[in-house]
């Protein structure tokens, strides 16, 4: 596995996700890049990062200056502007380019990023909690530098094909429904007389704790490579108890089946040509 130590990382397009990645890199407890170069786009976010991490982060005068000075270039552009912006930039054949742009496939990237070879290009899907070194980032195809970058600030889940990438990306779209579930819990607690601040603190911390149980279970892999652990977590619920009752009621209502149906819909949108 490669290391981010000594790398100069350039960021073209400094939006919410790119800002989260930069924050994660700057606050990592392990190896950090030698420098991080930011494009002037989204000047407020770029300036805030440079102010927070002086000596490590620098805002460049142009996207080309970022590309010229970087060993690894992260692309955080909106997909709709990529076809106009990327062909105007002069990349080097030896550079690694990590795209964070959803729904811009590898074939398109290889065309837009010439002369960078396909072997030096990968796609990724970081999420905002990466700023706090939480969560996993999908990397496709498997890539030593791209994997090292995200392992430094959380975890990298690397896959071989864009079909696999799309399936994993679909799961990220349940982030919003989870927030909606937490809001439902808070609204219910408030209706029972719980102060909103108290309820929010409890709901957030409770879901965070049980989600970490899921993280441990998801990282438990048998010798045959099949993930195990989630069945055990469910089976641990007391027979006839409140948790088992909640699972049974929601199962009968079709809630979990609907999650699968929703994921099929999301995957269809992600893979639509």
pLDDT tens string 227-264: 557 888 888 889 999 999 999 999 999 999 999 999 99
pLDDT at 219: 72
pLDDT at 222: 57
The reply to whether 47 falls in a domain is yes
The β-bridge partners of 9 are 36, 72
Name the DSSP class of 113.
Answer: T
CA distances from 152 to 10, 22, 133, 184 (A): 16, 11, 8, 35
Q: Which domain holds residue 198?
A: 175-271
Q: What is the CATH number of the domain that holds 108?
A: 3.40.50.720
Q: Residues 74, 152: one domain?
A: yes
Q: Residues 164, 227: one domain?
A: no
Q: Domain boundary residue among 170, 202, 222?
A: 170
Q: Residues 221, 240: one domain?
A: yes
Q: Residues 193, 165: one domain?
A: no
Model confidence over 199-217: pLDDT tens digits?
999 999 999 999 988 888 7
Q: How many domains does the chain have?
A: 2
The reply to whether 124 falls in a domain is yes
Residue 233: CB atoms within 10 A of its CB come to: 13
Q: Residues 104, 72: one domain?
A: yes
Q: Residues 133, 80: one domain?
A: yes
CB-hemisphere CA count at 13 Å for 52?
A: 15
Model confidence over 10-58: pLDDT tens digits?
999 999 999 999 999 999 988 899 999 999 888 899 999 999 999 999 9
pLDDT at 235: 85
Q: Please give the full DSSP string across 48-67, using - where no structure is assigned.
A: HHHHHSTTTEEE-SSHHHHH
Model confidence over 57-115: pLDDT tens digits?
999 999 999 999 999 999 999 999 999 999 999 999 999 999 999 889 999 999 999 99
Q: Domain boundary residue among 170, 190, 224?
A: 170
Q: Residue 269 belongs to what H/E stretch?
A: helix 255-271
The reply to whether 2 falls in a domain is no
The reply to whether 80 falls in a domain is yes
User: Of 24-38, 125-139, 176-190, 230-244, where does mean pLDDT reach its minimum?
Assistant: 230-244
User: Residue 223 above 60 pLDDT?
Assistant: no
Kindly state the average pLDDT of the residues 131-150: 95
The reply to whether 164 falls in a domain is yes
Q: Domain boundary residue among 139, 170, 201?
A: 170
Cα(91)–Cα(114) distance, rounded to whole angstroms?
A: 7
Q: Residues 12, 117: one domain?
A: yes
Q: Residues 112, 91: one domain?
A: yes
Long-range contact pairs involving 172-175 (C-beta distance under 8 Å, separation at least 24): 172/125, 172/127, 173/263, 173/266, 174/259, 174/262, 174/263, 175/127
Residue with more model confidence, 123 or 224: 123
pTM: 0.88
């Amino acid at each position: 596995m490669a290391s981010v130590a000594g790398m100069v990382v350039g960021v073209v397009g400094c939006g919410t996700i790119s800002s989260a990645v930069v924050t994660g890199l700057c606050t990592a407890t392990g190896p950090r890049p030698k420098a991080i170069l930011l494009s002037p786009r989204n000047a407020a976010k770029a300036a805030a990062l440079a102010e927070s991490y002086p000596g490590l982060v620098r805002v460049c005068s142009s996207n080309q200056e970022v590309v010229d000075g970087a060993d690894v270039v992260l692309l955080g552009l909106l997909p709709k502007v990529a076809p106009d912006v990327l062909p105007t930039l002069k990349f080097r054949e030896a550079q690694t380019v990590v795209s964070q742009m959803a729904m811009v496939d590898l074939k398109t990237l290889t065309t837009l990023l010439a002369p960078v070879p396909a072997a030096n290009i990968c796609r990724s899907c970081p999420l905002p909690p990466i700023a706090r070194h939480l969560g996993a980032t999908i990397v496709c195809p498997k890539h030593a530098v791209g994997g090292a970058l995200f392992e430094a600030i959380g975890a990298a889940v690397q896959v071989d094909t864009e079909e696999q990438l799309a399936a994993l990306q679909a799961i990220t779209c349940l982030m919003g429904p989870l927030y909606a579930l937490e809001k439902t819990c808070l609204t219910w607690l408030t209706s029972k007389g719980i102060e909103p601040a108290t309820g929010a603190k409890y709901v957030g911390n409770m879901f965070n704790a049980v989600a970490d149980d899921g993280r441990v279970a998801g990282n438990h892999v048998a010798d045959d490579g099949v993930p195990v652990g989630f069945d055990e977590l469910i089976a641990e619920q007391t027979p006839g108890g409140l948790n088992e009752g909640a699972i049974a009621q929601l199962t009968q209502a079709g809630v979990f089946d609907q999650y699968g149906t929703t994921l099929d819909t999301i995957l269809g949108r992600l893979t639509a040509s």
